[in-house]
Chain A
Amino acid sequence: DAGVIQSPRHEVTEMGQEVTLRCKLISGHNSLFWYRQTMMRGLELLIYFNNNVPIDDSGMPEDRFSAKMPNASFSTLKIQPSEPRDSAVYFCASSLSYSGNTIYFGEGSWLTVV
């Protein structure tokens, strides 16, 4: 299995631009997590989905952030408009949804907003 695949791995964009981060889940997994990691705030859970349905988006910073699962194996995290404080590493992770299962992380998307 290829694991969780994220793209792009690195992105530098100007403030105000739209950013779209993409994630492909491991085949057969039905839970999807988006995390953000910064030095200041550590690893924050932004949103998670179960069977394509958003379960908890309380970690999404503000309305500029949105996440979707157009199908069972793919998700996007969009930031519009982007701001310098959005600079972080964004991780996508997937698992089987019942308790006690390992969460598998992608390698992250490194976002810099200048």
Chain B
Amino acid sequence: SQQGEEDPQALSIQEGENATMNCSYKTSINNLQWYRQNSGRGLVHLILIRSNEREKHSGRLRVTLDTSKKSSSLLITASRAADTASYFCATGGYNNNDMRFGAGTRLTVKP
């Protein structure tokens, strides 16, 4: 089964700073997805990057993927207090039916 592992477990920054979270995985993948979870809520999809892509942008989000190192990073630029949440990566195989999540990174953005 595929499973991402996020690093660091917790990250605390000031508003306006950039936040970088990392994800490592062990087997070959078809795609990697990042999700966000606000306290007490379900996970919400942020961005997907396919195995043949190296970088993807969406608004203030930038995701990179290095399949040779089996790792991905999520960069949030110009962070806001509202970005405070837990962030998870999940890796997908060649069907979508085995999406497993790591323990997440807890991001706190201080105003």
Residues of A within 8 A of B (CB): 4, 31, 33, 35, 42-43, 45, 48, 50, 55-56, 91, 93, 95-108
Q: Which of B30, B97, B102 gathers most chain A CB within 10 Å?
A: B97
Q: How far is the CB of B8 from chain A (nearest CB, A)?
A: 15
Partner of A98, one of B44, B48, B50, B95: B95
- Contacting pair B94 A45 (CB below 8 A): no
Chain B 52-89 residues near chain A, CB threshold 8 A: 88
Count of CB-CB pairs between chains A and B under 8 Å = 72
Residues of B within 8 A of A99 (CB): 30-31, 92-96
Residues of B within 8 A of A (CB): 1, 30-31, 33, 35, 41-45, 48, 50, 88, 90, 92-104
Once the chains are docked, how many angstroms separate the CA of A97 from the CA of B98? 10
For the residues of A in contact with B, the DSSP-based class is: strand
Q: How far is the CB of A109 from chain B (nearest CB, A)?
A: 11
Q: Which residue of A lies closest to B101 (CB)?
A: A43
- What are the 5 closest A-B residue pairs judged by CB atoms, nearest first? A105-B42, A102-B45, A42-B103, A43-B101, A105-B43
